């Protein structure tokens, strides 16, 4: 939705995704956009001017002890996006992935794409701390900071079913290998903190990834974030992911990109295209 909000007339000639629930959510908003199937099966893709891709971080993240990088079956899908770009040679591209990857992996991706990435943190313009690397063949300016607190997007009348059970709280308090509790891993949110932690696809599992210490009242409450709150943290309109079970909604939100950041990037592209067009008209 980030592209359409900046460039309403943009035409999507195709998209690729493998999660059927994510596809269902996407089709609910963009039913006319052609689904091309898994990226590795796309042959003879249509002509296009812009490729946007966010390939899996599974094999790149430092949280993965195996860290196979682009040799991994999931993060290696970047090579398929590069294959399609070489076949069609689009004018522009934007490739996104986690900032927490090894320098060797980042350098390899930069070498393959021929550009250096820019680091953008959604915390500068939204209520979520979310650092991501973006490789693009057009200039992306730094984010201009906007005050935004995640506590302000929380629901006042949330479903009491979101309150954690004693079993879940015991799990958070449990000491694991290394002597730390699950609280000390920092996956949870706390209304004392101004920015939300980075939402991940694992948020659907509840503890320890979807835990909020809500201190807005006299007695603190341990609960889960509602789906609506997660949508707001990521910058989606309320109920954008409706139509599938909450479990799938949480996962799709965690796998998404920050909408305010995407809008910033495509504002930069829009401005770049205008500058190039004006320069071409002058030379004519």
Q: pLDDT, tens digit, for every residue of 137-155?
A: 999 999 999 999 999 999 9
Distances (CA, A) of 209 to 76, 166, 172, 246, 250: 26, 16, 10, 15, 11
In the prediction, which pLDDT does 7 show? 83
In the prediction, which pLDDT does 99 show? 93
In the prediction, which pLDDT does 269 show? 96
pLDDT band at 8 (very low <50, low <70, confident <90, very high): confident
In the prediction, which pLDDT does 135 show? 98
In the prediction, which pLDDT does 94 show? 97
d(CA 27, CA 47): 22
In the prediction, which pLDDT does 73 show? 72
157-176 pLDDT, tens digit per residue, is: 999 999 999 999 999 999 99
205-249 pLDDT, tens digit per residue, is: 999 999 999 999 989 999 999 999 999 999 999 999 999 999 999
CA-CA-CA-CA torsion sign (21, 122, 1, 109): negative
In the prediction, which pLDDT does 121 show? 98
pLDDT band at 282 (very low <50, low <70, confident <90, very high): confident
Q: Is 150 helix (H, G, I), strand (E, B) or coil?
A: helix
Residue labelled with tokens 């067009």 = 277
> For the chain, which domains are there?
2-144 (3.40.50.150)
On the question of pLDDT at 284 being above 90, the answer is no
On the question of pLDDT at 18 being above 70, the answer is yes
Mean pLDDT of the chain: 93
Which is more confident, 284 or 43? 43
d(CA 238, CA 253): 12
61-80 pLDDT, tens digit per residue, is: 766 666 677 877 778 889 99
Q: What is the mean pLDDT of residues 117-128?
A: 98
Q: Could you tell me if residue 166 is left (phi over 0), alpha (psi between -120 and 50 degrees) or otherwise beta?
A: alpha
d(CA 215, CA 218): 7
Residue labelled with tokens 């201009």 = 144
């Amino acid at each position: 939705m980030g592209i359409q909000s900046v460039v309403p007339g943009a035409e999507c000639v195709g998209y690729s995704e493998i999660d059927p629930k994510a596809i269902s959510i996407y089709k609910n908003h963009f039913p006319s956009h052609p689904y091309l199937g898994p990226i590795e099966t796309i042959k003879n893709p249509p002509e296009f001017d812009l490729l946007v891709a966010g390939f899996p971080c599974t094999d790149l993240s430092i949280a993965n002890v195996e860290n196979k990088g682009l040799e991994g079956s999931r993060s290696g899908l970047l090579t398929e996006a590069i294959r399609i770009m070489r076949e069609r040679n689009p004018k522009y591209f934007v490739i996104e992935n986690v900032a927490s990857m090894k320098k060797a992996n980042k350098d390899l991706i930069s070498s393959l794409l021929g550009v250096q990435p820019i680091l953008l943190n959604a915390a500068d313009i939204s209520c979520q701390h979310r650092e991501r690397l973006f490789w693009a063949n057009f200039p992306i300016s730094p984010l201009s900071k906007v005050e935004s607190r995640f506590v302000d997007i929380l629901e006042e009348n949330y479903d009491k079913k979101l309150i954690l059970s004693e079993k879940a709280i015991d799990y958070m308090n449990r000491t694991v290998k290394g002597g730390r509790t699950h609280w000390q891993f920092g996956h949870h949110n706390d209304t004392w903190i101004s920015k939300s932690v980075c939402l991940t696809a694992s948020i659907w599992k509840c503890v320890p990834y979807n835990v909020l210490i809500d201190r807005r009242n006299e007695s603190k409450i341990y609960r889960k974030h509602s789906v609506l709150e997660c949508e707001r943290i990521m910058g989606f309109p309320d109920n954008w992911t409706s139509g599938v079970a909450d479990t799938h909604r949480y996962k799709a939100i965690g796998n998404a990109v920050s909408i305010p950041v995407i809008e910033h990037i495509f504002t930069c592209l829009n401005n770049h295209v205008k500058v190039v067009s004006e320069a071409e008209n002058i030379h004519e």
